[in-house]
Amino acid sequence: MDRPTFDIQKTLQSMRHGARPNIFTSQRHSPKPSERPLPLATEALLASYGTADLLPIEFFKQHADALRSLMLAPSARTFLSSGTTRADRSQSHFSKSGLEVYRQFSLTTFQAVLSNFYPEPDKIRGFSLIPQVIEWPDSSLAQMLEWIHAEYNLSYWDGLSPLPNEPVWIFGTAFHFVNLADDGIQLKLPKGSLVIETGGTKGRSRSVTREELYTLISEHLGLPKNRIVSEYGMCELASQAYDFVLNPDGPEQKLSERWFRFPEWTPVAVFDRLSQQQLSGEGTLVIFDQLRLDFPWPIRTEDLAQLRPDGSFQLIGRVPTSPLKGCSMLAESIAITEFSGVSSIPMNEIQQVGIEQRAEAIHSIAQSLLVDASFRALWREELGNETVTQWMLADLSKSLPQSPTEWLLAAKVAARAEGPKRWLVIPPEAHAVTWLYPVLLGTVLAYDLYVRAKTQDPMLQLVQKSLSNFNNLRIWDASHRIGVDKLPAIDAILVYGSDETIARIKQHTDRPVQGFGSSLTVSIVSWSAWESWRNEISKDAWSLMQMGCMSSRLLFLISEGRPADSAILAQCKKDPRPIGPWPLGVETALEHGSFARRCFGWETPARDREGIPLFLVEDFHAAKPISDYLADRAMCLPVVVVPIARTTEFANWLSQQKSVHKIACNVKDPTRLSLDSDRFEIVDHGNANAPIWNGLHQGRALFGL
């Protein structure tokens, strides 16, 4: 097969200096790059982005069949994105001609990258850690490497077989290189060698930052960081962007100075915090891949990027989503990949101190943390907002036992007399500092404690230092997997997570598991009392940026007659204490969430400025489960209107929603709903995120196996 003859040097030049966006304009009601409008969600696209000529990347998952029907030629090949089931994977269809263009220009771009490092790239041997298509039949990446294999001297490599004593290039995913390092592979690649890495590590290996990945590759394969290249691509595209150093043999270039670049045929833009299209700055990355013949529309991704005017960009994260279940953790991150073991550590001297003295010491430590500047700064960094940080600290102050005696009583409630004394605490991904509650109470009880977290977690290190006199708190690194790695010296496991995660952990360990699963908090208020309680309701919803299971995720509005949507939304927006500005991810998540709701026909007004939450209004329908009302993004609050004549029906419906554990309402209102205080934890408005540390969680003893 003849190699396609394209101007490699021109392609390389465009990638060196950035592909100038010659399609997009800075006007909201442009661009018009294709001759075919996308006949999907037209009204929603116009309302959110000012154009219907745009393809949100989630449509490849949500509307895969509809997209296939829009193709002008039959589909010849379908690639799938990564995922656990076909239902949650994007389906990217290619016609025969679309696939051929994908092949030709992938080779062109790849040859341009190699030409930056080698005058005669055809003479350099390559090795791929990517499995062959027969092993990864749905992978566009595996297909691209097979095309490269047909044109270059490429061999598939297992990571163990000897390599030549001459310069080579190695192509692999990030998780391949992480696993090589964790398996103890130590090589010294010949001078002039090159590594090309692509993709993330989530779900396949331990998570690492880009800086950590480059350091790991450099140390374990013995080559300068300047000779590590990152590829950015996805199964929905036909083009790839690469990040490489222009002078690979020069001084080491910082990662902060390295930028991805597409070739000139793939201009990019960003949608900013309010979905306004920009040619530079921060926002959601939009890619117009002119080689994607079957879908000739700009693709709005869910990647956050910093974009320069020349079209080069850096990835700065993903647009976050908020899980439907309160405490959440991916079950796949518990037991999937092998890693090295952890040595056991015997019980220490903590039990030699009386429980009364421990209660006094922990009370003093807890009060000191409340006023500790470092503790506050770490919370401010995690939450990304000063107002929310103030609310959180106020809530924590309410939650903590107020005296050594209260700490002592809470500890006795939390434990079973003859129960386990050595625990592994696994916090939820949504709100990792949940471990603070069991750690402080566990110290009062003289327990040996491990927390599954990153070894360099600054919040955990700060608390660990505060408890140094007890020497009872250690970290079990988050890279380890239960059922695969050797557990530390523990008797039991305490885990906050989804019900699926808890079930998975129980399958993979013989230790008893105390699991606190899926949980939701909701608010209830009458329309007549809305104005009086508006500030407290806002605090219940936003105090922890809706992380974890305590922040209210739904507001049920009891009304004698449904107020107009506009009146409700106007009242919602009148909070005299503005919460914003928020981190970029939160702002863009709200915009994406607003678009998603518009696709389902919701009346969602535009956010006219930053820092405004997303409110949605809907009538109560008893036939719906509570999951149908929930928003799938953080800082988005659905308002469900319940006619006062249907309050009995509503109360019965609410009692059947097993995931609801806490209700925030006006507890002094004699006309409030008749709610079962044994079934729910009922708190006054403004206290949803201030659970009393009384030794219980979700109505059960914290360590009460």
Asked whether the beta carbons of 654 and 521 are under 8 A apart, the reply is no
303, 309, 333, 389 from 282: Cα distances, Å: 11, 12, 30, 24
pLDDT for the residue numbered 7: 66
DSSP notation for 348-375: -GGGGS-HHHHHHHHHHHHHHHHT-HHH
Distance CA 126, CA 121 (A): 10
pLDDT for the residue numbered 147: 96
pLDDT for the residue numbered 81: 86
Distance CA 375, CA 381 (A): 10
pLDDT for the residue numbered 672: 60
* Residue ranges of the chain whose pLDDT lies below 50: 1-5, 21-33, 84-86, 201-204, 322-328, 330-332, 335-352, 576, 670
pLDDT for the residue numbered 184: 78
Q: How many residues does the chain have?
A: 705
- At 696, the amino acid letter reads L
420 CB-near residues (< 8 Å, 6+ apart): 490, 491, 492, 512, 703, 705
Angle at which helices 42-49 and 584-599 pack, to 10 degrees? 150
Q: What is the gyration radius of the CA atoms in the chain, in angstroms?
A: 28
Distance CA 411, CA 442 (A): 7
pLDDT for the residue numbered 532: 83
pLDDT for the residue numbered 699: 85
Asked whether the beta carbons of 525 and 665 are under 8 A apart, the reply is yes
Distance CA 235, CA 317 (A): 19
Distance CA 546, CA 679 (A): 23
Q: 196: phi > 0 → left, psi -120 to 50 → alpha, else beta; which?
A: beta
What is the DSSP secondary structure assignment for residue 546, as one 8-state letter? T
Please report how many Cα atoms fall inside a 13 Å half-sphere around the Cα of residue 381, on the Cβ side: 10
pLDDT for the residue numbered 206: 59
370 CB-near residues (< 8 Å, 6+ apart): 393, 396, 397, 400
Cis peptide leading into 583, omega within 30 of 0?
no
pLDDT for the residue numbered 569: 67
Token pair, residue 657, equals 């929603």
pLDDT for the residue numbered 83: 58
State pTM to two decimals: 0.78
pLDDT for the residue numbered 162: 85
Give the residue among 235, 316, 327, 656 at the shortest CA–CA distance from 517. 327
What is the DSSP secondary structure assignment for residue 260, as one 8-state letter? B
What SS3 class is residue 477? strand
Give the residue among 513, 494, 488 at the shortest CA–CA distance from 435. 494
pLDDT for the residue numbered 107: 94
